Each structure stands twice: as C-alpha cells, then as structure tokens.
A and B are shown apart, each in its own frame.
Chain A
Amino acid sequence: ILPKGSTHQTNMLLMSVWSCFFGQDEEDGTETGEGDEWMQGKTLIKPLDQLDLTEAELKEEFTRILTANNPHAPQNIVRYSFKERSYKPISSVDQLAVHFVLEGNLLHQDSDEARRQRAKQGLPEGRLPGLLELLFDQICCFLQEQTFETAVAEKPETPAGKKEQKITNQFNFSERASQTLNNPLRERGCQTEPPPRANFSATANQWEIYDVYLEVLQKQEKNKEKAKAVPKKDDDKGKKKMMLVETQSDDITKVAKVAKIIERMVNQNTFDDIAQDFKYFEDASDEYREQEGTLLPLWKFQYDKAKRLSVTALCWNESYKDLFAVGLGSYDFTKQGRGMLVFYSLKNSTFPEYIYPTTSGILCLDIHKHLPYLVAVGFYDGCVAVYNLKEETLQPIYKSTAKSGKHTDPVWQVKWQKDDMDNNHNFFSVSSDGRVVSWTLVKNELVFTDIIKLSLEGAVSEGPEGVQLPIMACGTSFDFHKQIDYLFLVGTEEGKIHKCSKAYSSQFLETYNAHNMAVDAVKWNHFHTKVFISCSSDWTVKIWDHTIKTPMFTFDLNASVGDVAWSPYSSTVFAAVTTDGKVHTFDLSINKYEAICQQPVVAKKKTKLTHIEFNPVYPIIIVGDDRGYVTSLKLSPNLRKKPKEKKGQELPKGPEVEIAKMEKLLILSRTKKIKTDYKS
C-alpha cells in the first residue's frame, strides 16, 4: 500500500525495503527486477485517489534539497521604513527554530548568586561545604522550613577557623526583641568670628618701585629738616587739618592743571591748520617775488572784557617763548578808565593765561629778562607797579604812590635794568612830567631815584612869587643801550631825542632834532652798537648813527607811525606799524628806500595799529590794535634773508655779520652825506 501522494522515488525506496525483508541478492541494481518476481505474484494496487500522471510527468525529476532554513519561518516580513517612507521587506529573517528549552538550576561557584548563598549558609568564601555539613544543613533547613539549594562538587575538607555561630535552641526558639528609647540627637556647634581678611594685590613695576623709593627719600629729607629746625606745633596741626580737608572732598581744583592741558589740546585741534602753518609753512611764492615778502596771518587773540580797550603795550617773555604780555588801556585823553594786563600763550589763543584788571589804563610794560614772573607796568595815572605772576593775588606786589614819588603824568615807558650792587631789582620809567626815574625794589617797597629831568633848553617860565621854573619836556619813550650800560636815549613830545647817561642827571650828552611831532618810539639796534631807530606821528621813521646828528635813513610811511621794532635775527630788518592798519617791513640790505612788504593786517580799515613786537625765536610778529585785538603774523622767507654765501666760502655766522652789514650801509650813506654836505 503506497502512502498517499508518494512519488516514484518513494516507490523505489519502499521497494528496496521490501526486498531487504526477503533477503534477496540486492547487489543487483534493478530492484524492480528482484521484486518483480515477487511482485509478479501480485499486481500493483493503486490507491483510488492516486494522481494520474503521464509518462513524461512520471519521469520528471524533482529535486529536494536539505537546507538549514526553517520552513516555518516567514519569508516575506515587511517592515515600515521611516527613512524611505514605505514598506520594505526585511532581507534576513531569523531562521532559528527552538525545539526545546529547559531552565537549569546550576550555578557557577564564583558567581555572585553562589557567593550570596554561601554567605547565607555561613561558610567562608571559596570553600565548599563538606558532605556531613551538607547533611546537617539539610536537616536544619528542613526543620526550619527553608528552601534547600543544591551545592556543587563535594570536597570533604574539614573547615578550619570556622566562625563561631551562636547555636540557637533548635526546638523551642523564639526571638524576642525590644527597643529602648532612642535619645534624641542634638547637634550643637559654634563658630568664632573669622579673623578679618583683606585682599591685597599690586603690580611691581619698575616705576612703582621707583616711586616708593622717591617717597622714602622725601620722607627722610623731611625728617632731616625737622631735626634741624624746631617745629612749631601749631603749624603742624594747622597743616594736618588742611590735609584732612583736602583728601575728603572731591576737590575739583586739582583738575586745574589737567583742564589747562586739555583746553590747549582742544584749541590745537580747532586751530590745527594755523598751528601747522606756524610751524611749517614757508611761502613758496617768495622765490618768484624778487624782493618782496608777505605776512601770513596766524592766530588772533582777543579777550571779551578787553573789547573797549586798545593795546598799549606788547612784550614777549624771554624765558617762555610762547608767552607774551599785552597791556590794555586807552590813548584817548577823554576815554580814560580801567585797564588790563593780560598774558597770552600761543598754545591757547581763545583765552588768556593770566588776567590782571587795573584801575587805570596801562601804557607800557616790561618783563624782566631773567625772572620771567616779574612784570613792571606803567599806568596812565602816573603810577608804576610790579606784578609777580607767581602770586595768587590780582594786586601788584609793589605800587608807587603819591608819597613814594609817582609820576604826575602818564608813564610812557618802563624798562628793567640789571640788578644793582645790592642785588635788588630795579627798573626805569619815563613820563610826560619830564622825569626819568629809577625804581628799586627794596624788600617791601619801591624806592625811587630821579635820574634825569628833561628840561627844555632855555625855556623858563614864571612861577608864583617870581621864581623861575624850568619847563619840563615830556618824555615819551626811551631805550637803553644793549652794551653800554649807562647810555640811554629819551624821545620827547617835542620831537627831540636826547642821548643821556645815568651818571649825569642834568645834562644831555647829545640832542637830536628828530621829528616834528612826538617821538613815539626809539630803539637801539640789536647788533650794531651805534645805530638806533625812531618813529613819530609825523609819518616818518628815521635811522640814526648816534655819532652823527642827522639821520642816516628816513622813510615816509604816509600815516602816523605807532611803533617800530628791530628784528632779532638781522641788523637790517625792521618793521613799523601805522594808523592806517598796515605793517611796513624793511630790509636795508635789500632795498634802502622802500619797504619790502607793506601789508594791511586788520579787517576793518578804521582800526589803528598801535604796537609791534618780533618774537625772539620764532619768525612771527605780534601786532596790537586799538580795538584790543592782537594779531600774530608769520614772516615769509624773503623777510628773513640772511646774506648769500659765495661759492666756496663758508657762511660766517653770528652778530659780527650783522654788524658788518650795517656798517657797510652806513659807510655808503655817510659818504653820500659828505658829498651832499660838500655840495651844499
């Protein structure tokens, strides 16, 4: 009977099985042949529902492969892939088929669980319980109703050093416990006040070390001084109090110096182009102009409160080359009022450095050559005063009074002299009352000495009671010789210039009939010892050799000349200012007859220029006018010419050159004079 669905091959297998049973010779391959014998006895019985296959189909070979695949495993599991957002078949499916699972209860002896169990049993680690012990344990466990867990390999080792276990009553044991009252725990602590701490940090730079050393040095010096002098206790206390007050408040006055610096910086920024011009600009067009030069306007100095006043005096400070003093007052007889002494620095053209208001108009001033803080001032009311710039007060330190010999008429010129034999400072003044007075600063007062009285020759007036009084000439200007100490010139209102000596108080050495009107200024040449210049309201400027009574050169400037000044760098250059607002600059070595520069320097035509001064170092001049403004101007290169060097020759430098230059001119003019005199 063939099983259902069997195929040809299984038929074969079955056949071979049958043949084995019968023990027939099976070496013969064709089992069917053997079987056939037996089989012939029986016909093949086909089951009724066996498939009817054709011969071809019967011969068809079917291969059956034994694989390791699990036939029950699904072959087409699909999973949703979020990456591709679609269902994707899984490539590999688990082919494991589990047939049988049995949980074992063996433990590795070194595993955690085993150790725990051993600990429970109270055996030391690493040691395996012996057989007897096992039995014992078993009984105990049984009685105590504990679960028994199998021990692993038996090692009949006697335990050594077994822990003493309290053997409890096996049969009748009950554990009783009770708890005593727990004392409440309290924690008490205390903390002391921590010691005061301060953080200190500092950098140790080279300059900090230097500062500290300096301080120590100063303290030491102070101590030395204290040791020498007996200190007054009151003073110290007073000083201490002062110190305390200063450190407590946010004193704004300490910002003063810094504020000054900042003001100058701010001004420098605003007037940057002027500052650059002052320093570096040289007029290039001078090369194309043969002889003429120009004046470049730089800063303009004005002070609000001095608007109504006119500039009556200008003076540069010898030690601080950027500082100059301006005296303000009025030349007008009817408009006399207050005056001002103002100091400006070139570094700050918007506001003066020092301001001293005065009751009477100032007419002249002079700054001491060696002590730049002493200023002598002459007033319209005839007083003279000395100011000390270092002092805090606005008042002069010395002032002449009616008692102490002040002039009765306006003082037109003051000039400092060298210290006298007692090392007291002294200065001279000249005034319209005809006196030239020397004032000496002796301790706290001003001592005067009449040097000379300018009397009009021959003129005598009838005084009261028939006494004949000599009429005094009015001195309007004077100048002292640079080298010869006792020699000086005085210009008068009558137009005469007198050469005087300090030694002779009544007589003049020489008189020059200089001008037709008052002599406004008379100045010695800086280089040549014989030459001086004078100017007057009669429109002329004259140059003299003091040995000759007639002027060497005369220049007519078409307007009343206010002031004239020699240049400090050349013996032949000088400048004059006129009331029509022009500055005339002359260089005698270039042009003997005309000015090489005539330039109006003020905006409004009605402004009269009153004074002019050359800066001793920089190539600039300052010009004062009658509106209270001071304008600074830079001299172009043509105005500052030095003699040309001949090829191959070294240029000689120094004042000798200047003297020689002047001398040459003088000789020329002298010879001309002699000729003209001879002719006439």
Chain B
Amino acid sequence: RPDVIQPGYEPGTVVTDAVPQTTAPLGSPSEAEVEETLKRIQTHKGVIGTIVVNAEGIPIRTTLDNSTTVQYAGLLHQLTMKARSTVRDIDPQNDLTFLRIRSKKHEIMVAPDKEYLLIVIQNPSE
C-alpha cells in the first residue's frame, strides 16, 4: 500500500515590511512557491481534489482519501501514458501538454511532466 503523504505546509504570514519575501520569479522556483501554487489550486472554486503522482504511478501527495487516490492514480497514469504514446507516435518531436476528461459530474485535468503527474478534479459548473 503506497504511503500517501498529506500536505502539512503552512504558508507564510502576510508581510508588512520593506522587502517582503513572498514569491520568486520563475527561473527555478522555490519549494514555497510551488506549495503556494498547489494550495491555490486546491482552494480554488469548484476543485474537489488534487493528486501528485510520481513516475511509477505512486501518489505522493493528495487531498482525497486513500482508496480514491490510489484508484485515480493508477487509472489516470495508464491513460496518460497511452495518450502520450499516441501523441509521440504520430510525431516524435511533439509531446503531451495536458489532458482533460469532461464527464457528466465533473472534469478531470491531468498535466504530465517528465517525472510527475498532477491530477486535479474540478466541478466546473460550481
């Protein structure tokens, strides 16, 4: 059973001083900035859950319960691999940017990376 890490990061407080250290430009972003971006996504309107999956298909970060996470991670990982394989087979210089699956109840968005996969489930009508 994969060990699912729950996010425990508390974002920094609002700065009032002279040069506040809030965010860095995206040369190579700091961990704090990434955490903040993920937190913004999670708290965005209509977002049901977010899952970060590593290259082997094991979820490393999630906001959903364990069984749902494992199910989503496994299924979407395979689908993304297949989609990416399809895109690249047609043109090897091309690559998959993201995948959207819209269903009756909600929308599943998957953005793949070289090593990671970010899955967000949103209810767009909310």
Contacts and interface: CB of A to CB of B under 8 A. Distances in A.
B120 A207 contact: no
Contact of B38 (A209, A255, A261, A355): A255
Contact of B92 (A210, A258, A390): A210
B31 A394 contact: no
B38 to A, nearest CB: 6
A392 B98 contact: no
A205 B44 contact: no
Given A255-B113, A259-B34, A392-B28, A266 B120 contact: yes
A255 B124 contact: no
Interface stretch (A6-14, A159-167, A346-354, A573-581): A346-354
Contact of B60 (A250, A259, A305, A389): A250
B53 to A, nearest CB: 10
Contacts, number: 132
A419 interface: no
Contacts of B63: none
B66 interface: no
Interface residues of A, number: 43
B2 interface: no
Nearest to A395: B19
Contact of A254 (B15, B85, B115): B115
A359 interface: yes
Nearest to A354: B25
Interface in A546-571: none
A267 interface: yes
A143 B73 CA distance: 92
Contact of A270 (B20, B100, B124): B124
A101 interface: no
Nearest to B47: A266
A524 to B, nearest CB: 32
B111 A270 contact: no
A357 B20 contact: yes
Contacts of B97: 261
B111 A305 contact: no
A365 B96 CA distance: 37
Contacts of B124: 269-270, 272
A263 interface: yes
A253 B44 contact: no
Interface string A349-370: 0110111110100000000000
B88 A392 contact: no
B30 A257 contact: no
B109 A266 contact: yes
A392 B27 contact: yes
A338 B18 contact: yes
Contacts of B6: none
Nearest to A390: B27
B40 A351 contact: yes
A478 B37 CA distance: 39
A468 B22 CA distance: 50
B25 to A, nearest CB: 5
A266 B122 contact: yes
Nearest to A265: B109
A391 interface: yes
Interface string B12-39: 0011001111111111111101110110
Contacts of A263: 37, 40-41, 44
B107 to A, nearest CB: 6
A581 B36 CA distance: 34
B34 to A, nearest CB: 5
A256 interface: yes
Chain A interface secondary structure, helix, strand, loop or mixed?
helix
A355 B21 CA distance: 10
B25 A260 contact: no
Nearest to B113: A258
B70 interface: no
A613 B19 CA distance: 29
Given A261-B97, A266-B120, A269-B46, A253 B29 contact: yes
Contacts of B93: 210
Given A253-B34, A256-B34, A355 B92 contact: no
A154 to B, nearest CB: 86
B22 A357 contact: yes
A257 B97 CA distance: 11
A270 B23 CA distance: 24
A355 B37 CA distance: 14
Contacts of B22: 305, 355, 357
A254 B111 contact: no
A206 interface: yes
A203 B27 CA distance: 35
A305 B37 contact: no
A93 interface: no
A509 interface: no
Nearest to B115: A254
Contacts of A305: 14-15, 20, 22
A390 B27 CA distance: 6
A305 B36 CA distance: 15
B88 A389 contact: no
A305 B54 CA distance: 34
B112 interface: yes
A262 B25 contact: no
B76 interface: no
A259 to B, nearest CB: 5
B27 A391 contact: yes
Contacts of A206: 88-89, 92
Contacts of A267: 44
A392 B26 CA distance: 7
B37 A256 contact: yes
A272 B46 CA distance: 13
A254 B117 CA distance: 10
Contact of A250 (B21, B46, B54): B54
Contact of B19 (A256, A261, A262, A359): A359
Contact of B31 (A252, A270, A355): A252
A252 B35 contact: yes
Most chain A CB inside 10 Å of its own CB: which residue of B46, B54, B92, B120: B92
A56 B105 CA distance: 107
B27 A207 contact: no
Interface of B: 14-15, 18-31, 33-35, 37-38, 40-41, 44-47, 50, 52, 54, 60-61, 85, 88-89, 92-93, 97-98, 100, 107, 109, 111-118, 120, 122, 124
5 contacts: A210-B93, A255-B52, A256-B33, A269-B122, A394-B24
Given A256-B37, A266-B122, A392-B25, 19 more contacts: A207-B88, A207-B89, A210-B93, A254-B113, A255-B34, A255-B113, A259-B41, A261-B98, A262-B50, A262-B120, A265-B98, A269-B107, A269-B109, A270-B44, A338-B18, A351-B37, A359-B18, A392-B27, A394-B19
The 7 nearest A-B residue pairs measured at CB: A207-B88, A210-B92, A392-B27, A207-B92, A269-B124, A258-B111, A258-B113
